[in-house]
Structure 1
Amino acid sequence: MNALSLYIPFTPSINPRLSGLATVLALGMVLGGGLLPVGAQAEEAAGEPVQEQPQQQEQVVQTVAVDEVDPWQGFNRRMFAFNDVTDRYLLRPLAIGYKTIMPDPLERGVSNIFNNVMEVPSIINGSLQGNFSGAAYYSGRLLVNTTLGLGGLLDVAQHMNLPARDREDFGQTLAVWGVNAGPYVVLPFLGPSTVRDGFARPVDWYADPTTYIDHVRTENTVLGVSILNTRASLLELEKNLTGDKYTFIRDAYLQRREYLIHNGEIEDSFGTGESFEFEDFDSEEF
């Protein structure tokens, strides 16, 4: 579920950087004979050329890439199944009910309020990353929407040449500081993550202004509405899930994180030194 909210156009494969590294490792093992079938090794020893099928080579590359990025796949798939059952029988029905009773304008207003609040962590993390122009941009949106937008109910800033941008979080900040992502991991209830992003989550919680609501019932209500509002916004996106849901969401999450960390600029993995910029998806188009 979480990965869908982070969706951008992507190819259903491991990140190109990982694939490139995996290619080198796999080819090295193949050329060394470590992954050749017994019959092929015998032919090679006899001096006869060995013909590797392209599909076999591609499978080796993909296997090494997956092993590097998702070494805990057995655990992750079990946790994914647990989260999926929880969502199917609890969260999704509640989200459908929420969307049914909420008028569209009010639902958009609630989304705007939460988006406005989350400008605060983006300001903090933008500053920590040394991206002061970005921090100023988020500050401008927060100021405009909090005042002219009735506490964030209306997104007035988008009509003042300040459209919404992707959020900045502490996981991205750690990446900018050079901290490696580590293995992919599926967390109970929280969904897809990496070791780096998992350790960053508590910092994000403390940076969220709603954490400091000093009234338990109000805090729980805000949290519940936030969860239902987010889940309801993903109902239409479920149509994009095809094939192995676990693999789809894992790849979507990892590639989306790369996109966010590099602010939409993905370097050329073929060594040409070029970079490519991708426009972010507008979730309202789905």
Structure 2
Amino acid sequence: MPHVAEQRTQYAGLFTRPLPADIDPSTTTLGGRPALELRPATPDPAGEDLLLYFHGGGFVVGSARATAHLPATLLRHLYGRAVSLDYRLAPEYAFPAAPDDCLAAYRELLDSGVDPRRLVLAGDSAGAALAVVTMARARDAGLPMPAAAVLFSPVADLTLSGASVRIKDGTDPFFTPTDLRWLYDQYLSGADAAAPGASPVFADLTGLPPLLIQAGSSELLLDDAVRLAGRAAADEVPVTLEVAPRQPHVYQLDTASATAAAALDRAGRFLAARLHDGQEAA
């Protein structure tokens, strides 16, 4: 599929950044999939925190390495390591391959002895959707919840019913509604776009841990973030929503932006507070 291959190459070239010098990356496997593990070059002897990260890319492009600077930055606030998963991508592997991989990774971490009270999740765009779906499926399977999750510009409604998909068309510098529909069609391959396992805005989020959702006001998916926060609140999930004025989709990727740096700092502090304040996981 040369079109998809070209998109993946372009995405990697656009977003891949050098990792901080004080972070040591290594390859590993998790849940039967390749993954990138990030550790501080000088680890804390008592470091038991674990950040499980799901990258974005519309379920079609992206990789653990391409956006690894996001979990690497969050890791500065934690005492432990981060693992970013290379889940299977569409169209070669359509829904539910990606959420199956993410749940398998989460389950393996717990089976290996990771304390869920020291475990947090994060993701950007499609990866943020996968983080929410993973937690909901883990809850349904009787697995313990992580301590918290951070969601950057989450994909939450694959039906494209949010008003911002129309209102922000022409304002969003990255996407058009046609772009999003193409990506989602590759992923769903005929599956129901409104299924809770695909579109978490339609899911029951009861019992999920505290969430921090960050989005930009200029993005087509603004209403995905707003409505996901509303769904979480209605289901009694502690949720904080931040909307940055005049910022695009996953603006945190811009390493030269002070706004992005401040958002990542708040996100790291949010995770650290839930890990280290003695609260029990939900």
TM-score by length of 2: 0.28
| Bigger helix share | 1
Question: Which structure has the greater CA radius of gyration?
Answer: 1
